[in-house]
Chains A and B, each alone.
Chain A
Amino acid sequence: MDKIDKQILDILKNDSRFSAKSIASMIGQTEDVVAQRVADMEESGVLVKYTTVVNSELTGDDYVVALIEVKVTPQSTHGFDNIAREIMAYNEVSSVYLMSGAYDLVVIVEGKSIKNVSSFISEKLSVMDNVISTATHFILKKYKSEGIVLDKENSKKREVMI
């Protein structure tokens, strides 16, 4: 990863639909160079996927997200990896992170309703072997997500002066 790769990633992270030509103009490289770099990063797995950010507040669908702190008993040979892999296999789970601090894993779960998420936790997650305890926090409102401000109420208006 050099400076050019990083510049390309910065642009794509913000908007993955920019063409190689546009990116090339922005960073002062040729289109071929950018196309090759992108292809290489796709190949090596640096660029995993081109996706979208959806503002779920506006889609009209019922939708809840919970952030669950999970304490687990690490296993002697595999540490936290096995249990994390087991948890991430569930479709309800969107992210799993190993954390430093007072608990071990953060599991982010998406569901249609609080009931729906609660039953996942009580019936699937907390009963797993090696899970010692869980603490669930429901997300009430998203102000900013994936670097994008979703709460436009406070957006500023700049005036054309003279």
Chain B
Amino acid sequence: MNQEKYLSKKVQSIKPSGIRKFFDVANMYKDIISLGVGEPDFDTPWNAREAAVKSIRKGFTQYTSNSGLLELRNKIAKYQKVRCGLDYDAQDEILVTVGASEAIDLALRALIDDGDEVIIPDPSYVSYMPCVVMAGGSPVAVKCELKDKFSLTPDNLRKAITPKSKVLILPYPNNPTGAIMTKKQLEEIAPIIIENDLVVISDEIYSELTYGGDHVSIASLEGMQERTILINGFSKAFAMTGWRVGYVCAPKPFTKAIYKIHQYGIMCAPTASQYCALEALSSNLNEDFKDVVEMRNQYDMRRRYLVQELNDMGLETFEPQGAFYVFPRVSSLGMTGEEFASELIEKKRVAVVPGDAFGESGKDFVRISYAYSIESLKKAMTKIREFVELKRIQK
């Protein structure tokens, strides 16, 4: 039996993840220093872990409501008010999801009909494009360039818009570039979004990890909250990737539609995980975000170190303002990101991710994650420097 022929055309059209493919190769080598992982190297704060254990001991082992624990939604509402100045009704404008990943999928499925175009900054996180395709939409990549600090410029956005455009995905702070959109930059694109009647899916999962100033949500701009589906979660801010808790904040009709899909497909986010998230959020709201600040300071130190090291060895590296990635350009060595990454593993046993895994515009770059101890980063930088010097001589 040829099982392949039974697979849906949509699924067949989706390419496997470039990161995954690359690391299947990387894993064949021993003693690799990996700078490839996109999750915090910290553990979930202890009190949050304890809260989850307690909830299990107390026997809170049933489903929660489909939208998630009301207590947790109340805290999310408070958090959005405190951090972004946004008002969301915990009752019917907030929904707890299984990670921000589920939220992205749901938001797209709730909005897209066959043929609708979804504009996606390029480079970006690898899930958007396949999720758009699965929802029946057509992804449209907008080039974001180093010269613009990888922000989404009004001109490039305008060029991508057609009569079929319906949704703009706004993933800032950005994985893989570390770019952010400042308030001013958001104010420049907001009128274009409104004028062309687009809905924004704003993926703000890295919102707590900004280094130059506080994160600004596009939903906080005048006239934008009504057309924004804000997505965030606990994975990056509170080092909670394995718990799988994210959420959606959006106007009632959007939330209601998302709720429908979530209800039939997922039921609810895991109960113990929701108690963990509740404690992480409550304690940080009460104590000036001390866990977040501590982690952010560590990331910031590593970020500065990497930018200095990479530029010093002659790889042009833009100073990222958010997330935990640096995105050096390697084309000055006469190589693509893919060639650089492959040869770096082979010669120096250091794994970084080729930039084109995140879209065509990333092909001259590699992504380096600094969710690693400073010791690992230092070792890796020594090896990358040796490699770069070797390539220079060969060139």
A residues engaging B (CB < 8 A)? 11, 14-15, 18, 21-22, 25-28, 158-162
| CB pair B375 A15 closer than 8 Å | yes
Q: Is B10 part of the contact surface with A, judged by Cβ < 8 Å?
A: no
| CB pair A160 B34 closer than 8 Å | yes
| CB pair B19 A162 closer than 8 Å | yes
Residues of B within 8 A of A26 (CB): 301-302, 304-305
| CB pair B39 A158 closer than 8 Å | yes
CA distance in complex: A18, B36 (Å) = 24
Complex interface bits, B25-46 against A, C-beta within 8 A gives 1, otherwise 0: 0100000001011110100000
| CB pair A25 B308 closer than 8 Å | yes
User: What is the chain B residue whose CB lies nearest that of A21?
Assistant: B308
Complex interface bits, B1-40 against A, C-beta within 8 A gives 1, otherwise 0: 0000000000000000101100100100000001011110
| CB pair A158 B41 closer than 8 Å | yes
Q: A27-B301, A162-B127 are in contact. Are A14 and B308 (CB under 8 A)?
A: no
Complex interface bits, B306-317 against A, C-beta within 8 A gives 1, otherwise 0: 011100000000
Interface residue tally of chain B, by bracket?
20 to 34
Q: 7 interchain pairs (CB within 8 A)?
A: A11-B301, A15-B374, A22-B308, A159-B37, A160-B23, A160-B37, A161-B38
| CB pair A162 B308 closer than 8 Å | no
CA distance in complex: A25, B34 (Å) = 23
Q: Is B391 part of the contact surface with A, judged by Cβ < 8 Å?
A: no
| CB pair A160 B36 closer than 8 Å | yes
Q: A22-B308, A22-B309, A28-B304 are in contact. Are A158 and B37 (CB under 8 A)?
A: yes
Residues of A within 8 A of B39 (CB): 158, 161
Partner among A15, A25, A27, A159 whose Cβ is within 8 Å of the Cβ of B378: A15
Residues of B within 8 A of A158 (CB): 37, 39, 41
CA distance in complex: A47, B174 (Å) = 40
Complex interface bits, B273-312 against A, C-beta within 8 A gives 1, otherwise 0: 0000000000000000000000000000110110111000
| CB pair A162 B375 closer than 8 Å | no
CA distance in complex: A77, B183 (Å) = 68
Extra A-B contacts (20), CB below 8 Å, given A15-B375, A25-B305, A158-B41: A11-B301, A15-B378, A22-B305, A25-B304, A25-B307, A25-B308, A26-B301, A26-B305, A27-B304, A159-B37, A160-B19, A160-B20, A160-B23, A160-B26, A160-B34, A161-B39, A162-B17, A162-B20, A162-B126, A162-B127
